[in-house]
Amino acid sequence: MSRTQEEVRIALFGPSSSGKTSLLASYYGNQQKTGFEERHGYHLTVEDTSAGNRLLSRYYKMEEGDFPLGTDTFEEYCFGFKVHELTDPSFKIVWYDYPGGWWENTPKDESEAVARRETFRNLLQSHAGILLIDGEQYNKRGTAYVHYIFDQFKNEIRQIKDCLAGEGKPIDAFPKQWVIAISKADILPDNITAEDICNKIVADTNDQLEGLKKAVDSEDFGCQFMLISSAKGEGKKVINSHQYIGLQLIAPVVLLGILTECAQKISRKQVYGPFAGIFRKLQGLMGSIDKIDNFLPKKYQLVSHLIKSMHIHEGLDKGEDFFREKMTKAVQKGEKTDAAVAAMKLELISSAAQHAFYRKQSDDQDNANP
Ligand SMILES: Nc1nc2c(ncn2[C@@H]2O[C@H](COP(=O)(O)OP(=O)(O)OP(=O)(O)O)[C@@H](O)[C@H]2O)c(=O)[nH]1
Ligand SMILES: [Mg+2]
């Protein structure tokens, strides 16, 4: 597979058993199904065949009813987002996996300590951080569990920062994009939306969120919420590995999030809501989006072309047929980026997608002109 320059790096943060490895196996595995490409118009490719096979074998176990085993090493996966009939992927998605226990226990020896520091450095150099709140624990323990996860995460981030700075290798650019994702959303009541969860968590953890924004150096922390699930589970068993929630939204959420944050900064206007609302609000800010390059931190310039090609004037209300046709035409002309953007908009259009994502108003814009 030829390499493309543009890549979106995604880091999942979450303690042991929060669902990181299952998400990755389901993300890749489900996209290898013939039906997926037919329905969605694209699929994921993988550069490293043995990594792909590792993921597939975990996914096949899920098809047989078993979730993956716990993770004991760091792994990096590099996927290509390849639209049907194009020869090359339009962009890359880099995703890391590692033992969640590394957030919770002290390293057993110096070599593990070194491996952890390198992992955390990789994670914190990503474009987007997704902090997992284990939906099963949240169901059982409610807000107390979120308090625990937020405190633990804040302390770990501070420790890592100090540790890397102490080594003379401070991280200069933390992820600016953050999503709080409720994993195992298949076991939440059907009528709960990302907006409900956002409102509840924000109201219950306001002070903590303020501390976290400072720790990760991003005003965006605590603004974006997602529901996510790798499969329909029951107890410790998978009962349907094809029934995932939110996974296909991750790449578009990150790209749209970068665009939204820039648009807010440039215009001092609020952009919030589910996807359809975000597109509507961004349309009003089209002029300012031209200046986006001046506002993108250096590491985000890797995806600048993709973000500028989001064609915001074509809001999601144009409908499915419109974006399908756009995708087909872009493929015929060999326009990789336009084809990928149309494919991602098709993902964002469904009512399930509106249900699974919500962006709230950011507090620092409270006094801005809505
Ligand atoms: N219902 C449901 N259960 C899940 C889901 N994902 C994971 N689980 C459960 O959570 C357990 C842990 O999932 P993993 O994916 O191994 O979690 P992890 O975050 O990778 O854990 P470590 O590798 O220890 O860091 C699984 O064995 C399942 O029992 C999901 O989408 N739905
Ligand atoms: Mg794991």
- Residues at CB less than 6 angstroms from ligand 1: 14, 16-22, 67-68, 70-71, 99-101, 184, 186-187, 229-231, 233, 236
pLDDT band at 2 (very low <50, low <70, confident <90, very high): very low
Ligand 1 centre distance from Cα of residue 134 (Å): 9
Taking the mean position of all CA atoms in its chain, how far away is CA 104?
22
CATH number of the domain at 314, please.
3.40.50.300
Nearest of 10, 88, 84 to residue 342 by alpha carbon: 84
Ligand 1 atom 26: residue of nearest CA: 67
Atom of ligand 1 nearest to the CA of 187: 1
Instruction: Name the band, by pLDDT with cuts 50, 70 and 90, for residue 1.
Output: very low
| Domain assignment present for 330 | yes
Ligand index nearest the alpha carbon of residue 20: 1
The answer to whether residue 369 is domain-embedded is no
Segment 265-271 mean pLDDT: 88
Query: What local confidence, expressed as pLDDT, does residue 359 receive?
Result: 97
What is the rounded distance in angstroms from the CA atom of residue 146 to the CA atom of residue 166? 30
Choice from 12, 13, 22, 226 to test ligand 1 binding pocket (greatest atom count within 8 A of CB): 22
From the CA of 71, give the closest atom in ligand 1: 23
pLDDT attached to residue 104: 82
Least-confidence region, from 52-56, 85-89, 97-101, 104-108: 104-108
Q: Domain for residue 264, yes or no?
A: yes
**Overall average pLDDT of the 278-304 stretch:** 82
Q: What is the model's pTM?
A: 0.94
Q: How far is the CA of 55 from the centre of ligand 2 (A)?
A: 12
Nearest bound ligand to the CA of residue 105: 1
Lowest mean pLDDT among 37-41, 171-175, 187-191: 171-175
- State in Å: Cα 185 to ligand 1 middle: 12
What mean pLDDT is reported for the chain?
Answer: 91
Return the minimum-mean-pLDDT range out of 228-242, 247-261, 353-367. Answer: 353-367
In the chain, the largest separation of any two C-alpha atoms, in whole Å, equals 57
**Amino acid at the residue 238:** V
Q: Residue 7 pLDDT more than 60?
A: yes
> For 190-213, what is each residue's pLDDT tens digit?
999 999 999 999 999 999 999 999
Token pair of 289 as six digits: 């989006």
Nearest ligand (C-alpha, residue 24)? 1
Q: 367 pLDDT exceeds 80?
A: no
Q: Are 221 and 160 in contact (CB under 8 A)?
A: no
For the beta sheet containing 357-359, the strands, ordered from the edge strand earlier in sequence to the opposite edge, are 42-46, 75-83, 91-97, 7-13, 128-134, 177-183, 224-227, 357-359
Ligand with smallest separation from the Cα of 230 = 1
Q: Which of 333, 278, 351, 357 is nearest to 310 (CA)?
A: 278
| Residue 368, domain member (yes or no) | no
- Structural domain contains residue 367: no
Distance separating alpha carbons of residues 129 and 177, to the nearest angstrom: 6
Report residue 364's pLDDT band, with 50, 70 and 90 as the boundaries: low
Q: Is the pLDDT of residue 368 over 70?
A: no
Whether 323 maps to a domain, the answer reads yes
Number of domains in the chain: 1
Q: Is 110 part of a structural domain of the chain?
A: yes
* Residues 6+ positions from 234 with CB-CB distance below 8 Å: none
CA-nearest residue for atom 4, ligand 1, is: 184
pLDDT at residue 370 is higher than 50: no
- Segment 20-76, tens digit of pLDDT: 999 999 999 999 998 999 999 999 999 899 999 999 999 999 999 999 999 999 999
Domain assignment present for 179: yes
Residue 365 has pLDDT above 60, yes or no: no
Q: pLDDT digit string (tens) for 106-160?
A: 888 999 888 888 888 889 889 999 999 999 999 999 999 999 999 999 998 888 8
Residue 369: the pLDDT is: 45
User: Domain range for residue 261?
Assistant: 7-361
Report the first-to-last Cα separation within the chain, whole angstroms. Answer: 46
Cα-based distances in Å from 268 to 279, 296, 317: 16, 16, 25
